[in-house]
Amino acid sequence: MGQNKILLIIIILLGLVAGYFYYTEAAGEPDPPIPLPIDIEKDDLKSAANINLDFSVFENETYKTLIQFGESPVKPGNTGKTNVFAPIE
């Protein structure tokens, strides 16, 4: 019985040592942080002032022939349970 306890302790210690070495090798060195670009402006909305949107797609004949299916706005129905914590019947 004494040898079994010693063998069990040795196996546990070897497992802990192997786990420690595996964890320290797997973690490795962390990646260095990515430096921020130097030309960052404090107000990023200035760059949005130069955006040009093309709305000509809404005047396309294919777009104008699209039709809507279903009701709009969607009318909510009576779905689900009134008490979500009640047992399922």
pLDDT category at 12 given cuts 50, 70, 90 is very high
The answer to whether residue 18 sits within a structural domain is: yes
Q: What tokens does 66 get?
A: 């699209």
39 to 33, 42, 44: CA distances (angstroms): 18, 10, 11
pLDDT category at 84 given cuts 50, 70, 90 is confident
The answer to whether residue 4 sits within a structural domain is: yes
Number of folded domains that form the chain: 1
For the segment 35-78, what is each residue's pLDDT rounded down to a tens digit? Answer: 776 666 566 677 777 888 889 989 999 999 998 888 778 777 77
Helix, strand, coil shares of the chain, percent, nearest 5, are: 45, 0, 55
Q: Using the predicted structure, report yes or no on whether residue 33 has a pLDDT greater than 60.
A: yes
Measure the CA–CA gap between 8 and 58, rounded to whole angstroms.
76
Residue 21: domain span: 1-27
The answer to whether residue 16 sits within a structural domain is: yes
The answer to whether residue 13 sits within a structural domain is: yes
The answer to whether residue 85 sits within a structural domain is: no
Sequence-distant contacts of 4-10: CB under 8 A, at least 24 apart = none
The answer to whether residue 15 sits within a structural domain is: yes
